[in-house]
Amino acid sequence: MNSRTVVTLVALIATAGCDQQTAPIEKGADFVLTNGKVFTVDEARPWAEAVVVKGNDIVYVGDNAGSHTFVGESTAEVDLEGRLLLPGFVESHIHLALGGATTSGVVLSTTDSLEEVLRKVKEYADSHPEKETIFGASYLAGLFDARGPDKALLDEIIPDRPVYLMDHTLHAVWVNSKALEAAGITMDTPNPPGGEFVRDENGEATGAIKGGPAHAGVAVAIGAITAESMAASLPAVIEGLSEFGFTSAIDMGAPIATDQAYEAMYNMSRAGDLPLRLSVTFYVNTPDLAQTAVETFDEYAKKYRTDTLWFDTLKVSGDSVIENQKAAMLEPYLSTGDKGALYFDREALGRMAIGAAELGYHFTVHTIGDAAARTALETAGDLREAGYNTLYSTTHSQLVHPDDRRMYVDYDVTAQTTGNWAVHQPAYEEHLSQEVLLERQFPFRWWFDNGVNVAMGADWPATPGGFDGGVNPFNNIYTAMHRAAPPGKEVLLGSAPGLVLEPRDQVMTLAEAVEAYTMGGARMLGIEDQVGSIEVGKKADLILLDQNLFEIDPAEIPKTKVLATMFDGKVVHDLVYELGDSELVELGDYDLEIEGLCGPTTNERDSN
């Protein structure tokens, strides 16, 4: 993996249309796609004109002339009319069930002011008197200073029911007095490892809760997120992924209603209603879960498996996030004077990694702070030294000390990351030193130059921009190329016009960003022999775009639409050829009931 050569645009142009791949078939193909500009993400033959599909396999990649022999009586011949055809995208970090649940209450936005957040919450509560708990998600973490929000603001508008609001990172929560009371949080309640109940000078909880180990228990106690809301929302979320061109994904865990979330995904797959190849992780973020993590994960892996769904990755949180000052840092935060906190030290992390590897499973670690990254990378070294070659990745991979980058190469670690996070966020300047800001954020260029596998994913719903803006792969591709938000979407992604993230030379090329969304994700999941590129013998996961990313002004990339998505040889999204579903879901409205979660359909997704 580390010796692979990234495809360059020069090589792409030089070899366009020169080669073809063919697999013999007995009868006519199901689909013959011609007259396209096919970017294969295959180093051996980067460009082609035509692709032929039989069943769920690609049986031909090459020029138009060679595709004609595959036409039979029942073959669907599709003229791509010069449009760009890509391999299906691989979403390498998403929380499907949890993300769906966040649309079942008050859907807040990173563009909302504090006044707008309070208005939406009150309107929702007034129109839903039957709800015992008011739940909402995705307000901008930067609305508040390092201490976080105050329960008094919520008490004033909703004094009689628990209120539980998650910020856009999902690592910090704002609750009212009723929620604290219902969860039994008092002046004597200790902070769990990695979490904090923020307190005032008198020791009383303020209503700000930092870190999953602290706020997850409150959510369970007050019934903030229900299994029913998760299950009901999954079909809409997954349909939305098809519309964005995703044909494979890794679900990074549901820390609440875990069993019900897994059951819902499993049932969709068994019923043939899951148009994704879905790898599901078991998510560990507390010492209690860590005690039996490997055994519990093994039980899930044996229980839940179909042709399109499987468990093979143990996912562990190494730390929290910068926004709540709980990401584990090598140097103190300017705003708090402490260094955040590791959820697990190297020894504890190593026990879980080796336990998973002994059973043949992969391992991934959430790392935001540079101390968390160092710990996870050193643990990878311990795993390799012990003789295990299991797939290993760091997710987010936000801050990495320059001295630690080489461990990605030496220990064969995938860097999973998010383009939309690689934008200048002014709020960070009050928390992080100039040294950290100038040298340690998202070293994209270094990873690619040194042969590290890079996989892109949105981490929805823990990302700015909501589903339409945050999951949108074309927003993520643009930001990965520019380390700046697309014009007009700066506020949506938590940044501001004219700002570029340092170090500004750590950018991806367009070809690399596409690779990170295709082969990079496939390698991370260990399915690169099946998907990630357009090659004979691979699965027919294909997407057709309305504009050629390689020929347009990069500023136009975020406006790109997916015209059609083929998963496993079936057209699951189609705006052009009348071969599949053409109605688009909407996941951006607030005040949605569990029934009819998607709201009205539309023929044109919001440009965010």
pLDDT digit string, tens, across residues 589-599? 333 232 222 22
- Cα separation of the two ends of the chain: 35
Please report whether residue 406 resides in a domain: no
Residue 585: pLDDT band (50, 70, 90) is low
- Between 102 and 179, where is the model more confident? 179
**pLDDT, mean of residues 575-595:** 57
Q: Which of 30, 23, 24 is nearest to 569 (CA)?
A: 30
Residue 402 lies in a domain: no
Q: Is residue 109 part of a domain?
A: yes
Mean pLDDT of 233-244: 91
Residue with tokens 């329960």, as numbered in its chain: 151
Q: With 0-12 CB in 10 A as exposed, 13-18 as middle and 19+ as buried, what is 348?
A: middle
Report the alpha-carbon distance of residue 457 to residue 293 in Å, rounded: 24
In a domain, 210, yes or no: yes
Would you say 87 and 517 are in contact if contact means Cβ atoms under 8 Å apart? Answer: no
- Which residues have CB under 8 Å from 520's CB, separation 6+? 90, 92, 414, 453, 454, 455, 456, 532
Question: Is pLDDT at 539 greater than 80 in this prediction?
Answer: yes
- CB of 580 closer than 8 Å to CB of 572: yes
Question: 138 is in which domain, residue-wise?
Answer: 105-222
Identify the CA nearest to 433 among candidates 375, 502, 504. Answer: 502
Residue of higher predicted confidence among 402 and 325:
402
pLDDT 10s digits, 175-210: 999 999 988 999 989 988 778 899 999 999 998 998
Query: CA 283 to CA 316: how far, in whole Å?
Result: 6
**CATH (domain of 199):** 3.10.310.70
Please report which confidence band the pLDDT of residue 152 belongs to, taking 50, 70 and 90 as the band edges.
very high
Question: Is 70 exceeded by the pLDDT of residue 38?
Answer: yes
Whether the per-residue pLDDT at 494 is higher than 60: the answer is yes
* Residue 1 near residue 520 (C-beta atoms within 8 A): no
Q: What pLDDT was estimated at residue 256?
A: 65
Domain membership flag for residue 345 = no
Bond from prior residue into 461 cis (ω within 30 degrees of 0): yes
Q: What is the pLDDT of residue 587?
A: 54
Where do the DSSP E strands lie in 42-88? 47-48, 50-54, 57-62, 76-79, 84-87
- What SS3 class is residue 69? helix
Maximum mean pLDDT: which of 89-103, 106-120, 301-315, 460-474: 301-315
Residue 122 belongs to some domain of the structure? yes
Q: Is 569 left (phi over 0), alpha (psi -120 to 50) or beta?
A: left
Residue 127 forms part of a structural domain: yes
Across 9-23, 111-125, 578-592, the highest mean pLDDT is recorded for 111-125
Chain segment 50-84, per-residue pLDDT in tens: 999 999 999 999 999 999 999 999 999 999 999 99
Provide the number of structural domains found in the chain: 1
- What is the chain's mean pLDDT, rounded? 88
Residue-wise pLDDT tens digits, 348-362 = 999 999 999 999 999
Band of pLDDT at residue 26, cut at 50, 70 and 90 = low
Q: What pLDDT score was predicted for residue 397? A: 98
Does 270 fall in a domain?
Answer: no
Per-residue pLDDT reduced to its tens digit, 282-334: 999 888 889 999 999 999 999 999 999 999 999 999 999 998 899 999 999 99
Total-model pTM = 0.84
